[in-house]
Amino acid sequence: MPSSSTPAIRFTNVSRHFGEVKAVDEISLDILDGEFFTLLGPSGSGKTTCLRMLAGFDQPTTGSILLHGRDVTGLPPYERDVNTVFQDYALFPHMSVGENVAYGLMIRQVPKAEREKRVEEVLELVRLPGFARRRPSQLSGGQRQRVALARALINNPRVLLLDEPLGALDFKLRQQMQIELKAIQKRVGITFVFVTHDQEEALTMSDRIAVFDHGQIEQVGTPAELYEHPATAFVAGFVGVSNLVNGPVAQAITGSPTMFSIRPEKIHLTDPSAPMPEDSYCVEGHVREVIYLGMYTRYLVELKGGGELTVMEQNLHTTSMDVLAAQGRTVRLTWRHDHVRLIPEKAR
């Protein structure tokens, strides 16, 4: 059993500066043993730099990194018990798939017979049995991805680092690989640290997520926590879609000018003459735009007191004809008090 007292990874006040640019700025973070942990953020937010510092490709300007309680700050990559799946896969073009996968074992001078056995096992795990003799150039993107995964997993690392590994795959394949990656992680039980800018991907796979922006961590939490209780305006906007309301418009709705966020799918679009529901905020407006999306419809509603809200409704009983007819109509928007998330001034 993994001991719960020592985290798999501990960042303590880690910064990485490139000249004037603070790519990573005073980050402290614990990642637990056996967790599927995602570093989520837009490009340039510092998530990849954090991963590279974990792998040892980059060193912190200040601060320390512990792996299973051992200080690895300043150690080269080959002295760390982590392996990486690269964004561009980084397969060795002059080696066969089998030689690529066996590379780590070859370096550690594992006998050839055992190497071949383990290669076949791990290729089985990533569902590429019998591919050992092929060349990387003969594989599709998804297959290369699996080879890269196998090459890392064969070393039984205690932590696996994945740097946007699904970025180059098409949508369908990406969804399939997300589920597969999660299944593999459960099966091998090692800590996965996954970097992505795709919030849906993060929500699909992660046990916990750290949301990065401008070299700092905005919030760490489970997918549900981040979605339902975003701590900052950035998290509310980056994880899923949010309406952010503040100032006089907020005052008119809630009676307080404090900024709040409300998810588009939590808002109900009703007729102004309908009875007002209990424990809910109500506001009237007219529909400026209707965007029919098949499963959903997105309405952009201009409020009477100024401001605009996005509303999402599932097309359970309605057809495109019905929803498109709403264009220009006056409507009432209602949502429950407990779906509102207040965002205090200092967290913006």
Partner 1 sequence: MATDSLAPARRSNFSRLATFLYQHPRVALALLLGPPLLWLGVVYLGALLTLVAQSFFHLDAYSGKIVRELTLATYADLLSQAENYRIVIRTAGMAAAVTLGAVVIAFPLAYFMTRYASPRLRALLYLAVLLPLWSNYLVRVFAWKIILAKEGIFGWFINLLHLGWALDALLKIPLIGGPSLANSMIGMFLVFLYVWLPYMILPVQAALERLPRSLLEASGDLGAKPYQTFRYVILPLVFPGVVAGSIFTFSLTLGDFIIPEAFGTSEFFIGRAVYVYQGTSGNLPLAAAFTLIPIVIMGIYLYLAKRLGAFEAL
Q: Which CB sits closer to partner 1, 45 or 83?
A: 83
Q: Which two tokens stand for residue 163?
A: 């740097």
CB of 252 vs partner 1, minimal distance in Å: 54
CA distances to 27, 41, 319 from 18, in Å: 16, 19, 54
Q: Which two tokens stand for residue 3?
A: 């001991």
Q: Which stretch binds partner 1 (CB under 8 A): 51-59, 222-230, 269-277, 325-333?
A: 51-59
Give the ranges where the chain is alpha helix by DSSP (H): 47-55, 97-107, 112-125, 141-153, 171-188, 199-205, 223-228, 233-238, 247-254, 320-324
Question: Applying CB under 8 A, does 317 fall inside the site for partner 1?
Answer: no
**Could you identify the residue written with the tokens 């008119």?**
252
Question: Applying CB under 8 A, does 48 fall inside the site for partner 1?
Answer: no
Q: Which CB sits closer to partner 1, 141 or 272?
A: 141
CB of 206 vs partner 1, minimal distance in Å: 23
Question: Applying CB under 8 A, does 165 fall inside the site for partner 1?
Answer: no
CB of 94 vs partner 1, minimal distance in Å: 5
| Apex 239 CA angle, 234 and 245, nearest 5 | 50
Question: Applying CB under 8 A, does 191 fall inside the site for partner 1?
Answer: no
Q: b/e for 5-39, b at 16 or more Cβ within 10 A?
A: eebbbbbbebbbeeeeebbbbebebbbebbbbbbb
Cα-only R_g, the chain: 24
CB of 91 vs partner 1, minimal distance in Å: 8
Q: Using the rule CB under 8 A, which residue among 42, 69, 74, 76 binds partner 1? A: 76
Q: Compute CA 243 distance to the chain's CA centroid, rounded to the nearest angstrom.
A: 20
Question: Applying CB under 8 A, does 77 fall inside the site for partner 1?
Answer: yes
Question: Applying CB under 8 A, does 155 fall inside the site for partner 1?
Answer: yes
What binding mask, one character per residue, do residues 97-126 give for partner 1 by CB under 8 A, x or -? ------xx-xxx------------------
Q: Which stretch binds partner 1 (CB under 8 A): 54-62, 119-127, 228-236, 275-283?
A: 54-62
Q: Which CB sits closer to partner 1, 135 or 182?
A: 135
Q: Which stretch binds partner 1 (CB under 8 A): 28-36, 149-157, 198-206, 228-236?
A: 149-157
CB of 82 vs partner 1, minimal distance in Å: 8
Q: Which two tokens stand for residue 176?
A: 């399939």
Question: Applying CB under 8 A, does 92 fall inside the site for partner 1?
Answer: yes
Question: Applying CB under 8 A, does 55 fall inside the site for partner 1?
Answer: yes
Neighbours of 253 (CB within 10 A): 21
Q: Which CB sits closer to partner 1, 155 or 191?
A: 155
In whole angstroms, what is the distance from residue 55 CA to residue 78 CA? Answer: 9
Question: Applying CB under 8 A, does 78 fall inside the site for partner 1?
Answer: yes
Of 329, 345, 328, 347, whose CA–CA distance to 250 is shortest?
345
Hey, is 258 helix, strand or coil?
coil
List interacting residues with partner 1 (CB under 8 A).
55-57, 76-78, 82-84, 86-88, 90, 92-94, 103-104, 106-108, 151-152, 155
